[in-house]
Amino acid sequence: MRFDPASFAKAGAPGLDIVGVAGNIGAEIRDVRLSGDLDDDMIRAIRLALLRHKVIFFRGQHHLDGAGHEAFAERMGEPVRQPTSGAAEGASFLLDLKERESYAASVWHTDMTFMAEYPEASILRARVVPAAGGDTIWANTAAAYANLPAPLRILADNLTAIHQNTTDFEAQYEESVKARMGEMRYRKPSRFFETEHPVVQVHPETGERNLLLGQFFVRKFVGLSTEDSREVLKIFQAHVTREENTVRWRWQPGDVAIWDNRATQHRAVPDFGDQPRYLQRVTIQGRKATGIDGAQSRQIRADVLA
């Protein structure tokens, strides 16, 4: 499926009631009951809306349980398990995201970019949400690239980045957030992944150019020192997360959000104190990123740790 954003903006997605949530990213789709029984035309319309809006929201999906969530995900693509979760083959594709995981996810990131074939999309379902707080914010990485000043765009076009799944919680998080993570801040992954990605990824369906970055998994840029990499990443991230590139969603129980992981970053907002927050996610398998020169992502390491 090849996609023309300009013509889609005029035509809209067939058969869907779509209401924009923010100017440059995000839309709510109304009067659709998500399930594994949706016909091919409806799945295609949902996918088109996802490509156009980057993240789409569905209210009131209370009928979905874990099995229904997975069945719908299978209609959207090939579900994949979190490689660092230790889940055995044949286990559920559902990933539980509770309070501590929500605090850990409060740093801007694109899911699982420590993998060469990182996810195409994620489908997140709200089960228990705080009375106030605990929103999620997404950023449009295509808009961020398109609006870069020309010198920064040239720099981005010529950079590759090293992504890893190890996180320096002590350096990256404020004390109030770390305190709510509990033992998670000291947890070591069972596997270590390291991947080299082009910083500018050409979207395989839309042809748009996206910044493939994020504070959570990017460690350095090839050819730059760690210190210089930190400063350059800070500059690019400031452009990605400008308010006009973002949409913020206030969760209600039964909500479902689907985002194009190739064209967005996201973060949970860590402002809900000790209130319960429980969401479940199914991730859809993706492919290697391709840069503007045709070079693809390269898995450097995928080691089991002792």
- Angle of helix 150-157 relative to helix 226-240, nearest 10 degrees, comes to 120
pLDDT at 3: 53
Q: How many CB atoms lie within 10 A of CB 199?
A: 25
Q: Give the HSE-up count for residue 242: Cα atoms under 13 Å, Cβ half-sphere.
A: 16
Q: pLDDT tens, 39-61?
A: 999 999 999 999 999 999 999 99
pLDDT at 84: 73
Hey, where are the domains in the chain? 5-304
pLDDT at 9: 47
Q: pLDDT tens, 85-116?
A: 655 566 799 999 999 889 888 999 999 999 99
Residue 163: active-site member: no
pLDDT at 182: 74
Q: Which of 111, 209, 260, 267 is catalytic?
A: 111
In angstroms, what CA-CA distances link 50 with 43, 233, 262?
A: 10, 27, 11
Tokens 């994020």 correspond to 214
Residue 277: active-site member: no
Q: pLDDT tens, 132-155?
A: 999 999 999 999 999 999 999 999
Q: What span, in angstroms and rounded, lies between the C-alpha atoms of 296 and 159?
A: 13
- In this structure, what token pair is assigned to residue 16? 């869907």
Q: What residues contact residue 175 under an 8 Å CB cut-off, 6+ apart?
A: none
- In this structure, what token pair is assigned to residue 132? 């106030």
Residue 266: active-site member: yes
Q: Which of 47, 53, 81, 109 is catalytic?
A: 109
pLDDT at 86: 58
Q: What residues contact residue 179 under an 8 Å CB cut-off, 6+ apart?
A: none
pLDDT at 186: 64
Q: What span, in angstroms and rounded, lies between the C-alpha atoms of 187 and 215?
A: 19
Of 59, 57, 67, the closest CA to residue 26 belongs to 57
What SS3 class is residue 155? helix
pLDDT at 1: 41
CATH number of 5-304: 3.60.130.10
Residue 96: active-site member: no
Chain centre to alpha carbon of residue 287: 14
Mean pLDDT by 10 residues, the chain (306 residues): 50 76 98 97 97 98 98 98 69 91 92 97 98 98 98 98 85 79 71 96 98 96 97 98 98 98 97 96 98 97 75
- Read off the pTM: 0.92
